[in-house]
Chains A and B, each alone.
Chain A
Amino acid sequence: MQINEIQAIALLKNGDISGLEYLVNQYQVKAVQTAFLITGDPYAAEDITQNAFLRAAERIGQFNDQLPFQPWFIRTVINEAIKYAKKQTRNTSLDGYDESVLDWLKDAKPLPEKYVEDAELRNQVFNALMRLSPDERKVIIQRHFLEMNEAEMANDLNRPRSTVKWWLHTARKKLRFIWNGNQRENEGVNHENS
C-alpha cells in the first residue's frame, strides 16, 4: 500500500513500525551522507543515522505533524554528528590522516586521467573539510550540501542571519585557505618528483 509522509508519521505515532520504515527509506541517504560529511567516518555516519531514526521513533509523539519531517530529523543527525566529531581528536597534518577514509576514496579500477584529477580534487576538498572545526563543517554542509538558505539556517541555529553570514564567511575562508595550502603542498611535491 502506498503511503505518504503524514500517514507514515501517523502510523508511527500509533506504534506501527511500517511508518518508520517509510521514513527510513525516504531520508536515510540524505541523513547518512550528511553525517559522513560532518564526521568523515563512514562507520560513525551509519551508527549516528540509525540511532537518529530510533530516537525519532521514540520521540515521534513530540513531533508536530503539520511540519515537514526532514528538517526536524536532519537537525538531530547533525547534532549527533557534531557531538561525535568534537569528541574525536583530529590530527591536522595530512600525514596523520585516517587511512580508512582514504580507502573509501580510492577507486579499484584504473581511471582516465580526467577522472583521476576529479577524484584528487574531491580528496583534497574532503581533507580541507576535515580540517575545519565540526561547527564550521556544519554550516558548510547546511549551506552547500543540504542547500538550506540563510533564513532556514538562522532559524535552525537560532541565530540572526547576520551571524549566519559571518559563520559561513569564516568557514568558507578557512576552507579556501586550507585547500589552497594543500594545493601548494601538492605542487611542491609534484615539482620535487618531476
Chain B
Amino acid sequence: MKIADLSNILASLAEENFPSNKVNLWPSIKNQLENHGQHSRSNMLHGSTNSKRSRRTALIFVAITITAFILLLASPQGQAFAQKVIRFFSTTTEKSFVLPTDMIFPVPPTQTPKPTYILPLETAGVKSDPTPEKEDNWSCSDPSYKDEYWCLIETVESQAGFDLKEFLYDPKGTQFSKVYYNPETKEAITEYKVVSGGGYLILRQGLFDYIPHDDPWSKVPIDAIDQVSVNGNYAEIASGTYVVYPDATEAVWEPGGQLSLVWREGSSWFVFEKWGDPYPIEWINKDEMIKLAESLTPSRPIDAVAPVDPENLTSIEEAQDFAKFDILTPTVLPEGFELQRVVYVNEMVHQLYGPQNRTDTPLRISMGPIEDFQAGTCTECPPGTVEDVFVNQWQGWYWRGIFSTGLFVEGQPTSTPEWHAEANDWSVVWNTDSLWIGVNFWIGDSGEVMNKETLLKIAESIH
C-alpha cells in the first residue's frame, strides 16, 4: 500500500460508513436543544473482563513467586544465594592495576604558543532562512534526511535486526550525538553528549547473552557495585572509574562520577553509562540513572516533547519567557560567532556565543536586575589590574586575567590559585538604571584573542 493511496482509502472508508447523502444529524441536535438534554446512544462495549482476569492472574503469580523466594532464603541453599552474586560486571578485589609500559606517557612539555590575532567584529546577524520545507512525501531514502534522528535510528535498527529502545527525549543537559551499530559486538550504541562538553551518556543494547568486558579497565571492584532493579528486572550499577594521574604508573579506582547501569529485559540487554560529571549532568545520580533507564521506550511516542530546560535554552525569546526583565543583546559579535545557548538561573540570564562550527562558547554576556545584585570592581584582583572605563554613559570596570592553579600552564598545577595576568580571560562589568551586565571572553590556545577595545565595542553594542 502506498501512502499516496491512503488518502483515497480513508475517504472511501469514511464514505462507506457515513455516506455524504445520508448523514443528517440536525433533527437529533435540534431535539436536544429543544429538550435541553443530552442523548447518548454510545455503545459502551469493550468491557474489561479480560484485563481484570489478567490482573488477577498476575497478582497470584507474584504472590507465589514471593512465597517461593522467602522459603528459598530460609533454606541453607537460600542463604548462599543471598550473598552478592554479580552477573553483569567482571569484578576484581583490587583498586588499582599497573599500567602496561606502552601506556605510560610523560607529561608533555609546554608547547610553543600559536600566533595570536584579535578577532574582528561583525554585525550580529540574523540566522539565514532555513532550508525551505521539503514536500510532505519525504522518506529516509532521501539523502537530505539521512542525518535526521529518526532516519539514523531506522538505519541502525535495520543493521542490528532489532528495534532500539529510545529515550522519550534527550536527557536534560545532553543532546543526541550519534547512533551506530557495532557488528563485531552485535550491539547498538546511542550517544548523548553534554551540551557544554565534558561528558556523555551512552546507551548500549543488544540481544541474548551479555558478556561483560574483561580487560583491566572494565573490571569493577565488587564493593563498587549495587544490585538494583530496572522495571522490575534485576540490574547492577557501578559507580566509579579507573583514572591515571600525571606521571603515574598505575591506574587507580576513583569512586563516584562515572556510573554504569546494566540489566536484561526479556531477550535484550542494556548498558547505560554516564561518562564525566560536568554540571549539566550532575543531577544524574544512581536513582536518576535508574529512572532514565526505566523511561526507555520502543520508540519516541507521539506526544513526547522535552520539557523546557531553562539552563539550556536556544534563543533569547525562550529566555524572555523566564526573565522578568527585558533581555538586552549585542549588535556586534566576533566574526563568525553566533548565539549557541542561553542559560536562565536565579533571575540571571547568560548568553553564550561561540564560533559557528565549534561547540565552545568563549563569549558570555550575563545580566540581571540591579535590585538583586550590583556589578562592581574586581576586589580580588591584584592592585592596578582593574581599569575604570565607560560603557556608553555608564561607569564600568575592565580587567584581564584570572586566578588559577595553572593546571594548563606548564603542565604543573600550583598548590593555591595564583593570578595569571596574561591569561586569555577578559572581563568588563557595569550597571545601568535597571540591570547589572557583564561581558567575559575566555578562550584556549586556538590563536584568537580579545583586547580591551574590542571587548568594549561589544559591550557598548548591547541594548
What are 13 contact pairs spanning A and B, CB under 8 A?
A: A17-B33, A21-B26, A32-B23, A41-B43, A44-B42, A54-B32, A89-B46, A91-B46, A140-B6, A145-B14, A159-B305, A166-B150, A170-B150
Residue of A nearest to B12 (CB): A122
Residue of B nearest to A96 (CB): B50
Mask, B192-230, CB within 8 Å of A = 1, is: 000000000000000000000000000000000000000
Q: How far is the CA of A144 from the CA of B1 in the complex (A)?
A: 14
Say yes or no for A60: interface residue by CB 8 A criterion.
no
**Beyond A21-B26, A33-B15, A133-B302, is A144–B41 a contact (Cβ under 8 Å)?**
no
> By the criterion CB–CB under 8 Å, are A172 and B17 in contact?
no
Say yes or no for B13: interface residue by CB 8 A criterion.
yes
B48 contact set on A, CB distance < 8 A: 89
Using a Cβ–Cβ cut-off of 8 Å, how many residues does chain A contribute to the interface with B? 66
Say yes or no for B25: interface residue by CB 8 A criterion.
yes
Say yes or no for B245: interface residue by CB 8 A criterion.
no
Say yes or no for B407: interface residue by CB 8 A criterion.
no
Contact of A45 among B18, B133, B302, B305 (CB under 8 A): B18
Given known contacts A42-B18, A90-B46, what 17 new A-B pairs fall within 8 Å (CB)? A17-B33, A28-B24, A28-B25, A37-B14, A44-B43, A46-B41, A50-B28, A57-B33, A98-B46, A122-B13, A136-B302, A143-B136, A145-B11, A149-B136, A165-B138, A169-B150, A172-B3
Residues in A122-152 with C-beta less than 8 Å from chain B: 122, 125-126, 129, 133, 135-136, 139-141, 143-145, 147, 149-150
Q: What size tier do the contact residues of chain B reach?
A: 35 or more
A121 contact set on B, CB distance < 8 A: 1, 9
Residue of B nearest to A138 (CB): B302
> A-B pairs with CB below 8 Å: how many?
135
Say yes or no for B79: interface residue by CB 8 A criterion.
no
Distance from A50 Cβ to chain B, minimum over Cβ atoms (Å): 5
Q: How far is the CA of A87 from the CA of B149 in the complex (A)?
A: 32
> By the criterion CB–CB under 8 Å, are A144 and B7 in contact?
yes
Say yes or no for B40: interface residue by CB 8 A criterion.
yes
B45 contact set on A, CB distance < 8 A: 98, 100
Say yes or no for A51: interface residue by CB 8 A criterion.
yes
B residues neighboring A (CB under 8 Å): 1, 3, 6-7, 9-18, 20, 23-26, 28-30, 32-33, 38-43, 45-46, 48, 50-51, 133, 136, 138, 149-150, 299-303, 305
Say yes or no for A167: interface residue by CB 8 A criterion.
yes
Q: How far is the CA of A43 from the CA of B42 in the complex (A)?
A: 6
A residues neighboring B (CB under 8 Å): 17, 20-21, 24-25, 28-29, 32-34, 36-37, 41-47, 49-51, 53-54, 57, 84, 88-91, 98, 100, 104-105, 118, 121-122, 125-126, 129, 133, 135-136, 139-141, 143-145, 147, 149-150, 159, 161, 163, 165-172, 175-176, 179
> By the criterion CB–CB under 8 Å, are A170 and B300 in contact?
yes
Q: How far is the CA of A54 from the CA of B36 in the complex (A)?
A: 10
> By the criterion CB–CB under 8 Å, are A150 and B305 in contact?
no
> By the criterion CB–CB under 8 Å, are A125 and B13 in contact?
yes
> By the criterion CB–CB under 8 Å, are A176 and B1 in contact?
yes
A167 contact set on B, CB distance < 8 A: 302
